Structure 1
Amino acid sequence: MIDSGVQGSVRIEPRGPFSLAAGIRFLEGFTPAAREEVGTETLDVAFALEGSWRTVGVSLSQDDGGTVRGRLFAERALGRSGLSAAAAQLARILALDVDGSGFADVGERDPVVGALQRRYPGLRPVAFWSWYEAGAWAIIGQRTRMTQAAALKQRMATELGETVVVDGRPQQAFPAPRVLAGLESFRGLPGPKVERLRALGSAAAANVLDSARLREMPREEALAALQELPGIGPFSAELILLRGAGDPDHAPVHEGRLALAVQHAYRLPEPPTPDELTALSAGWAPYRTWVTLLLRVALDADS
């Protein structure tokens, strides 16, 4: 356990509507997050800073003026570069690195999207804590029930990750890349998944990729780079780019759940084809990922 104290703070001003409370409610129902605290107005977590992969804790809150404030917990001062890295990573995780002031325009053009925006005000995608953690989730979850995969991922955090005390409460982080890079076995993980996680950990520890670079690359190049990792196919690469690096403007048109969500929201007689989804989602730009989230949340709530 890291003997932690407050070692810095961050302040993020959202551009456009944003509700941290809505993001927390989403995480409470998001199986991979495995959140035990329900109904809180602060987000207290531990995570590894991309680049240095140093484990820190944070307590995030939003004031009445909409500003998001975070207190960072660590055993020693983060320094200017560490604080800057933490602020950038937190902004990306909460989709606050994107100007959302034009999101309402999408709802004006598309009444279905407008209704979802009113139903879930201020909700933006909440990403995994890094592209690396999203990659680990993709590997752990392959051909495994989501609840089983989430329990396994949480057990890895408990047994292999570092614990940071945030406001008096221990918060467990998913293991840093160097830990997975040396993984020989883990109860519940078959050998091929261990090998893939070990390769992922080695690549992340060497900073072969990072979330900012993946976002800056042309999308097809980013997806191709991710698929060079063992065990990462097209579906997993898309998940990492959307839910790890936080790409704000991509609709996974080949994903069956999106087709079902669109059928439900638009009251279609049957699920749309990928080509039909491509045409429809063009009207959601430049927030296709955000609209996809609202559609899936509504489907889950109504199912």
Structure 2
Amino acid sequence: MGEQTGGKTGGRGGAELRGSVRVEPRGPFSLTAGIRFLEGFTPAAREAAGADSLEAAFALEGSWRTVGVSVAQDAAGTVRGRLFAERALGRAELSAATAQLTRILSLDVDGSGFAAVGERDPVIGALQRRYPGLRPVAFWSWYEAAAWSIIGQRTRMTQAAALKQRMAAELGETVVVNGGPQQAFPAPRVLAGLGSFPGLPAPKVERLRALGEAAAANRFDSAGLRALPREEALAALQELPGIGPFSAELILLRGAGDPDHAPLHEGRLADAVQHAYGLATRPTPDELERLSAGWAPYRTWVTLLLRVALDEASR
């Protein structure tokens, strides 16, 4: 359950406290585990500082206003967020910010049945005990996930992450959160008018411009993508220039936050399953489909645990 309240106190740098969010997780949830994941997730470009609170800025879906947020979890497990902005947030924007925050932390999903997956599958049960309370942490919006997929095409992940961070610094808005500046990825209207950017080849600029135009017109929204039949959502996303099947899956899983989809044709998932289950060979997509059926309705969550385990083993 999530609650939001409006408010106003003095801030710095033009940003003020504009509201608060309170969410009671359903099922095990650890914000600290999510932050540790982000610190190792290259696109997030977060330093491994060991913090137990999450501070960031993001473009609010719909109005695409830039909002800052500070999120913490108390000893009872309640997640509390504080929202910062230069101008007051209306009721609809407070509601949208609450929905966006709960979605990116996977708190909009009832996780009380997740333990049953581990009871059915001992391998997954061991991973749940190894990473207690870890849920997927999504991009701030389908739009930002789509931008990342375009920026990262045919580019090393570290280079793409540095480029995305530089775009946020030079083109995005900054919000002061608890006295510190937080930079948001540029809003759609900025990308819609993008002429060039150092390090971005012309075809990527064109694709980002088309993406910005589509997002500024609210052609998609994360909740709407989640509500569509999965194949229909993936097909619709592939109508965007530069978005193919792999990118569409990334947007749906890591942008819209679909909790129950396993990317069967992604090589890293096959590697992760081979590692975790001790298989002699990489499983085929058909084998992955049969195995992942037992992870429903949390296939995305299980995929995260498997990949985190593989990443740790590869270090």
**Category of TM-score, reference length = shorter chain:** over 0.9
> Does the 8 Å CA contact 2:36/2:48 hold for their aligned counterparts?
no
C-alpha distance 36-215 of structure 1, shift in aligned 2 (>3 A) = same
Counterparts of 2:127 and 2:105, CA distance in 1: 19
Specify which of 143, 166, 190 is matched with residue 155 of structure 1.
166
Partner Cα distance (1:155, 1:254) in 2:
31
Q: Does the 8 Å contact 1:2/1:163 carry over to 2?
A: no
In the alignment, residue 137 of structure 1 is paired with which amino acid?
W
1:272 correspondence with 2:283: yes
Give the whole-Å Cα distance in 1 for the aligned partners of 2:21 and 2:91.
11
1:79 offset after TM fit, Å?
2.0
| Alignment counterpart, residue 86 of structure 2, candidates 62, 75, 81 | 75
Residue identity (%): 83
After the TM superposition, which residues 166-245 of structure 1 pair with which residues of structure 2 at under 5 Å, given as runs?
166-245=177-256
Number of the residue aligned with 2:39: 28
Deviation of residue 80 (structure 1)?
1.4
Contiguous gaps of at least 5 residues in structure 2: 1-11
State the Cα distance separating 1:81 from its structure 2 match: 1.1
Matching residue's letter, 1:89 = Q
Distance 1:18 1:290 in 2: 12
Determine if contact 1:22/1:120 at 8 Å carries over to the other structure.
yes
SS at match of 1:88: helix
State the distance in 2 between where 1:36 and 1:260 align: 27
* Alpha carbons 1:15, 1:100 under 8 Å: kept: yes
CA displacement, residues 182-221 of structure 1 (integer Å, 9 cap, x when unaligned): 0000000000000000000000000000000000000000
Aligned position for 1:284: 295
RMSD: 0.9
Q: Residue 251 of structure 1 contacts residue 289 of structure 1 at CA under 8 Å; is this kept in 2?
A: yes
Q: Deviations over 1:24-66 (max 9, x none)?
A: 0000000000013510011000001000000010000001111
Q: Deviations over 1:69-104 (max 9, x none)?
A: 000001121121111110000010000000000000
Runs of 4+ more than 2 Å apart = none
Instruction: Report the residue type matching 1:136 in the other structure.
Output: A
Q: Is the 8 A contact 2:263 2:269 kept in 1?
A: yes
Using the size of structure 1 for normalisation, the TM-score is 0.99
